[in-house]
Amino acid sequence: MEAPQRNLALDLVRVTEAAALASARWLGRGDKNAGDQAAVDAMRLSFNSLDISGTVVIGEGEKDHAPMLYNGEKMGAGEGPGMDVAVDPVEGTNLLAYGRPNAISVVGVAPTGMMLDPGPSYYMQKLVVPTAARNMVDINAPVKDNLNKIAKALNKDVDDLVVFVLEKPRHHGLIQEIRDAGARIQLHTDGDVAGALMVVDPRCPVDVMMGTGGTPEGVLAACAIRIMGGEMFATFDPQSEGEKGALLDQGYDLRNIMTVNDLVKSDDIFFSATGISGGTFLRGVRYLGYGAETTSLVMRGKTGTVRLIEAVHTWDKLMKISAVKYD
């Protein structure tokens, strides 16, 4: 038995709240880089107050030339435990720019060396299922077979299932297979971290996520999936000859099937996500004139504790001490 230890997730929520509050000012204004930059700046400032010696292992920006917290960047005050850091200041920059639901700010941390280094991989094929179906599926099996097994594990009919799929040209065949199997589909233009979280969050109606999305997002989502007891099966799925060649040159096995335990190799992990634009997963930032409200999902792996935190931020007090200009 151990005495209660500090829950770093309760510090991380201040980081994602700051990024959400700063970026939500850009909701629907059509400038995804400005919204992302606001989140990056707020997240960097907030992170530097934490007593950790962090290194960004999963950053964002290189793939789409956006503002970024870059891989290898040092985070935290430089004292305290060494941590791998996975960040997505705005997961769903297009969702934010065009006022669409489910843009979120996300952070996950783990002890140094415990997160997969995706190297030159930008994309991976993913199959995310809730706890009851974690030992029932095979990412290489036909879609219909997996859906039948998931339905059985959840005590549902196949036509009860809801499948999260990114609405991309690469998924035309997958979408048709899901429809032919009889399951229902939620199509989303962006946001596969949020999609993965919806699968393992019992408050959400999504039962499974299928298809190819970002590799960094997969590692980040794996932090939360591992804590909540779900499973992700993933294989590298390069979308260009350049990406494929770079993976092969560096010795990556494109046939290897990874699980959350491969993507994040420790239970001593922490995760926080704060809603920006709102939607079916987390409520977005609500500005009140005198301040704002945020909603966050916060988790600690070692205890399995999952918290839903609603916060009220008051400008006249906050702005006296904050370097981030939220209002």
Q: What is the pLDDT of residue 67?
A: 56
Collect all residues with Cβ–Cβ distance below 8 Å to 54 and sequence separation of at least 6.
Answer: 47, 74, 75, 76, 82, 83, 84, 85, 109
**Does domain 123-263 correspond to CATH entry 3.10.129.10?**
no
Greater confidence (242 vs 119) lies with: 242
Please check the confidence at residue 303 and state whether its pLDDT lies above 90: yes
Rounded distance, CA 9 to CA 46, Å? 13
Q: How big is the CA angle at 195 (ends 193 and 201), to the nearest 5 degrees?
A: 100
Please check the confidence at residue 127 and state whether its pLDDT lies above 60: yes
Residue boundaries of the structural domains of the chain: 8-112+268-319, 123-263
Collect all residues with Cβ–Cβ distance below 8 Å to 189 and sequence separation of at least 6.
Answer: 94, 95, 100, 166, 167
Query: Could you read off the pLDDT of 1-35 as tens digits, one per residue?
Result: 554 567 899 999 999 999 999 999 999 999 999 99
Determine if residue 123 is labeled as part of a ligand binding site.
Answer: yes
Rounded distance, CA 171 to CA 217, Å? 18
Residues 198, 224: contact at Cβ < 8 Å? no
Please check the confidence at residue 240 and state whether its pLDDT lies above 60: yes
Q: What is the pLDDT of residue 295?
A: 98
Determine if residue 138 is labeled as part of a ligand binding site.
Answer: no
Determine if residue 16 is labeled as part of a ligand binding site.
Answer: no
Please check the confidence at residue 244 and state whether its pLDDT lies above 70: yes
Determine if residue 242 is labeled as part of a ligand binding site.
Answer: no
Determine if residue 249 is labeled as part of a ligand binding site.
Answer: no
Determine if residue 191 is labeled as part of a ligand binding site.
Answer: yes
Determine if residue 310 is labeled as part of a ligand binding site.
Answer: no
Q: What is the pLDDT of residue 64?
A: 47
Determine if residue 74 is labeled as part of a ligand binding site.
Answer: no
Q: Stretch 100-121: mean pLDDT, rounded? A: 95
Residue among 168, 191, 176, 33 at smallest CA distance from 97: 33
Rounded distance, CA 51 to CA 109, Å? 13
Confidence of residue 69 (pLDDT cuts 50, 70, 90): confident
Please check the confidence at residue 279 and state whether its pLDDT lies above 90: no
Q: What is the mean pLDDT of the chain?
A: 93
Residues 233, 137: contact at Cβ < 8 Å? yes
Q: Stretch 253-270: mean pLDDT, rounded? A: 96
Determine if residue 307 is labeled as part of a ligand binding site.
Answer: no
Q: At 75, is the secondary structure helix, strand, or coil?
A: strand
Rounded distance, CA 174 to CA 183, Å? 12
Determine if residue 28 is labeled as part of a ligand binding site.
Answer: no
Determine if residue 207 is labeled as part of a ligand binding site.
Answer: no
Rounded distance, CA 15 to CA 107, Å? 8
pTM: 0.93
Rounded distance, CA 33 to CA 36, Å? 5
Determine if residue 304 is labeled as part of a ligand binding site.
Answer: no
CATH of the structural domain 8-112+268-319, one choice from 3.40.50.300, 1.10.1530.10, 3.30.540.10, 1.20.1070.10: 3.30.540.10
Q: Do domains 8-112+268-319 and 123-263 have the same CATH topology?
A: no
Determine if residue 30 is labeled as part of a ligand binding site.
Answer: no
Confidence of residue 317 (pLDDT cuts 50, 70, 90): confident
Determine if residue 67 is labeled as part of a ligand binding site.
Answer: no
Determine if residue 92 is labeled as part of a ligand binding site.
Answer: yes
